[in-house]
Amino acid sequence: MHILRLVLLGLAALAGIVAGVALLQKALRPETPSPFLVTGGGASDAEIAAARRGLGDRLAAAPEYTAFFERLKSVFPAEYEAFLAAYAKRLATNGEPRSPDILMEEAGRFLRRTRGVLAAKAGSPALEHIFELQASMLRVLSAKDPHLCVSFLNGAESPGLYEFSAQNRGLVTALGIASIDAIHDGEVKHVDRPAPTDRDFAELEKALRGNGLGTPEIEALLDGKASDPPIADKKMCQAGQIYLETLAAMPEPSRVRIYGFAIELMARS
């Protein structure tokens, strides 16, 4: 079976659609702290409190993100408070300057690592909405810059992606909210789906070929295999869009099995 590279990165606003991940042997526990929030300590309570107030100022500079943080606070208040407390401690300790866009991304990553696996248990509409917004994100990136589009596909960090986020905060917020809603939906409905089958992946590959993709693009998308020579940015970006469109057109049982599997892979990575 192919190792599916299409993963849920809606909770991390700037992560790539096909970033390489490995399925861990066991899930992260909800109480496990995100590694990027771990600090060496040393800040006083007053310094941490000041840093917490500073976070409010940073978010005030990006009101487009207010809806995401309000939804997070409403649906998962414990995670909301834990993230802000840990992030404030990090800022007080390390004094790292962070933009609202990076703060938004890291809030999403924190939630993905603590509760993200629940999104795989969501109903079909909640799952599909996430991937619809991912496709929208890719279309906008493609129109802006094919190289940036490929960075997004590969999950590569790039200053250009943060600039893109700053210019498209409405879309980033919508994707983040869709992820929160999918996690909550999964918590409530707890749909138990089987993993995708070999036949699901065979049908996906056949459909990709039918939609014009060749072996290099398919191997890059499904297996993360590098091509020699490398695929041109414009062609790879188009392949990513075809990939999402092809998945969306598959029969619902296969489609949601793959969506759920992709989401679970990312949550356990």
Using DSSP, state whether 241 is helix, strand or coil.
helix
Domain boundaries, the chain: 1-269
Q: Which residues lie closer than 8 Å to 125 by C-beta, 6 or more apart?
A: none
**Alpha helices, DSSP H, located in the chain:** 45-60, 66-75, 77-94, 100-115, 124-144, 146-154, 159-167, 169-189, 198-210, 215-223, 233-249, 252-267
Whole-number average pLDDT of the chain: 81
Per-residue pLDDT at 148: 87
| Binned average pLDDT, 10 residues per bin, the chain of 269 residues | 41 32 27 44 83 86 94 95 90 77 88 90 94 90 89 76 89 93 96 91 94 92 82 92 94 93 79
The pLDDT, as a whole number, for residue 41 is: 55
What does the pLDDT look like over 202-259, one tens digit per residue? 999 999 999 999 999 998 888 777 788 889 999 999 999 999 999 999 999 999 999 9
